[in-house]
Amino acid sequence: MKRIAALSALALLGPAAGAQAKIIEIGQTTDAATPSCPHTCNAVSRTTGYQAKVGVKRGLFVVPQDGRIVAWTVQLAKPGPSQIKFFQQNLGGEASAGISLLQPGTRLFSRTVTSSPVVKLTPYFGQTVQFALDRSLVAKKGEVVALNVPTWAPALAVGLGSDTSWRASRPSSGCRDTQTQTAQQNGQNTQYRCLYRTARLLYSATLVTDPGTGV
């Protein structure tokens, strides 16, 4: 995992924040999972999604305290050349992703509050890579960290237990439609109606809490 860039981002917060703040990896769990590809290759495509549950664990991607997201991490499979060509031709081009912060509402509605830049993922296939943010994202307690994928990303583990699931920003009538663009932009408010069981999005985010907000 590439940690050097993330440490540089933390240093930019200054000594006062470093002396009192906590560093929390949102979404981190000891339950290991392996991304699919190249055998049976599945990818997240053209949507914004968040992990709803991993086994008995819920709320893994809920921001626990006010702070700033300074980096995010994604675990990527290594698809083969023919698989890459298929995804690029059908899902808008080169693999890419970022993260977004969602403000949850009622009836599975969530509003996209802010997003990181989208980065190209192809150079990192087969790796777990961490991206430091040049500008950290202000995060409020209770917001949800989501993976934002305007094209496709081989960051999906499948064949897991039925107690593991993730949600996507797709209407209930379009859960099988993986090609229509549903990746959310800042300010958009949409229902995350599609629940995909036995699958897991392989990402996390690094939160530096605000001084004085601990419990």
Q: Which two tokens stand for residue 37?
A: 């590809």
Domain of 167 in residue numbering reads as 4-209
Contact 151, 93 (CB under 8 A): yes
Return the pLDDT at 211.
79
**What integer pLDDT is reported at residue 213 of this predicted model?**
60
Mark the ranges of the chain whose per-residue pLDDT is less than 50: 1-12, 14-18, 215
State the pLDDT at residue 152.
Answer: 98
Report the candidate in 107, 87, 138, 116 with the shortest Cα–Cα distance to residue 184. Answer: 116
Asked if the structure places residue 215 within a domain, the reply is: no
Report the number of distinct structural domains present in the chain: 1
pLDDT digit string (tens) for 29-82?
A: 888 899 998 888 999 999 999 999 999 889 999 999 999 999 999 999 999 999
Confidence (pLDDT) at 19 = 52
For residue 214, being part of any structural domain is answered with: no
CA–CA dist 13, 11 (Å, integer): 5
**Residue 4: alpha-carbon gap to chain centroid:** 20
Query: Looking at this protein, which amino acid is placed at residue 64?
Result: P
* 207 vs 178: CA distance, rounded Å: 30
Burial of 76 (0-12, 13-18, 19+ CB in 10 A): buried
124 neighbors 202 (Cβ within 8 angstroms): no
